[in-house]
């Protein structure tokens, strides 16, 4: 019947629901429960074949032990996926397999459930335009899928609607999907410590203290300061240095003149201690003569002499 209704659909072991999956949906539908099935129980024929192959005894000992011990039979194959892994491939696989199962059981038309699933998939995987937001992760998508189907099942059970009308109502008339699949804010990034000197009033994280908190521990390794090299001696000036004038010697009165008629006065001769007959300084008296003019000392420079 399925191939006659949908001749363009190709069924393979990977996209054909397993008998256990179909039986579980039929059991929920006949008991009045929600037809939503947990994702781990949405298995295909390929999953069943792999599970059956893994349970086959590999040797005579395993076969004999399985006959004698009579271990508990496993409930059936399951679909294993990481709840923290990527969501696109897992979501598409579970939605398509569930849609095929509902169409095989003739509970809804394949086009109706595919249109419903496409809207759910688009809202769950579209990245938000705001960089501070993120799309829902796989665990949040699973919870949203279950909540949407709880609403669909409530319309079928309480309002006696058909599954087709309930899917169209929830998927395209109401806004139950948008709040469940809306973008979430991204977690805040940890603040980075400044690399420069510590600000006033803030503790210096690079400064370590002893356990008693009294004396600082000297830095070591990368925290240790590099000692400055001792300054080298002053470089000698190139060329001949200019001669400096001799400073005052003990006994030479600072009020005495040090230059007379353009020649430097010999200070040792002024105090009677120069015995050099070839002295290059002038042997003259440096004591200044009194002016004797009738003006004050402040007017001496401006008065004619």
Work out the percent of the chain whose per-residue pLDDT is above 90.
44
Nearest to 76 by CA among 113, 38, 34, 43: 43
Task: pLDDT band for 75, please (50, 70, 90 cuts).
Answer: low
pLDDT tens for each residue of 194-220: 765 555 555 555 555 555 555 555 555
What's the CA gap between 126 and 178, in Å, rounded? 12
Cβ-in-10-Å burial (0-12, 13-18, 19+) of 164 comes to middle
Tokens of 159: 């309002």
Are residues 56 and 82 in contact, defined by beta-carbon separation less than 8 angstroms? Answer: no
What is the pLDDT, as a whole number, of residue 218?
54
Question: 172 or 73: whose pLDDT is higher?
Answer: 172
Strand partners, 282: 265
Nearest to 134 by CA among 182, 75, 80: 182
pTM of the complete model beyond 0.75? no
Tokens of 228: 């400055």
Number of separate helices (H) and strands (E) present in the chain: 10, 4
Q: What's the mean per-residue pLDDT of the chain?
A: 80
- β-bridge pairing 263-264 and 133-134: unpaired
């Amino acid at each position: 019947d399925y191939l006659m209704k949908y001749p363009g659909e190709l069924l393979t072991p990977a996209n054909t629901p397993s008998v256990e999956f179909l039986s579980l949906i039929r059991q929920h539908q006949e008991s009045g429960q929600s037809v939503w099935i947990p994702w781990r129980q949405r298995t295909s024929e390929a999953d069943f074949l792999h599970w059956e192959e893994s349970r086959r005894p590999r040797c005579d000992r395993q076969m004999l032990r399985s006959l004698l011990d009579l271990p508990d039979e496993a409930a059936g194959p399951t679909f294993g996926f990481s709840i923290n892994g990527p969501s696109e491939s897992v979501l598409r696989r579970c939605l398509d397999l569930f849609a095929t199962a509902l169409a095989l059981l003739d509970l809804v038309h394949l086009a109706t459930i595919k249109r419903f699933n496409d809207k759910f998939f688009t809202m769950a995987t579209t990245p938000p335009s705001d960089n501070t937001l993120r799309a829902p992760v796989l665990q949040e998508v699973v919870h949203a899928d279950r909540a949407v189907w709880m609403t669909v099942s409530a319309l079928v059970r309480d309002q006696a609607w058909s599954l087709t009308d309930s899917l169209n109502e929830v998927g395209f008339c109401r806004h139950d999907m948008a709040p469940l699949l809306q973008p979430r804010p991204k977690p805040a990034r940890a603040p980075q410590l400044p690399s420069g000197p510590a600000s006033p009033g803030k503790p210096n994280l690079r400064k370590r203290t002893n356990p008693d908190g009294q004396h600082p521990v000297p830095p070591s390794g990368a925290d240790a300061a590099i000692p400055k090299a001792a300054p080298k001696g002053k470089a000698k000036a190139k060329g001949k240095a200019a001669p400096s004038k001799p400073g005052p010697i003990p006994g030479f009165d600072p009020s005495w003149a040090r230059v007379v008629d353009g020649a430097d006065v010999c200070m040792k001769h002024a105090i009677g201690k120069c015995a050099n007959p070839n002295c290059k300084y002038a042997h003259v008296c440096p004591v200044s003569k009194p002016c004797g003019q009738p003006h004050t000392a402040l007017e001496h420079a401006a008065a004619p002499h």
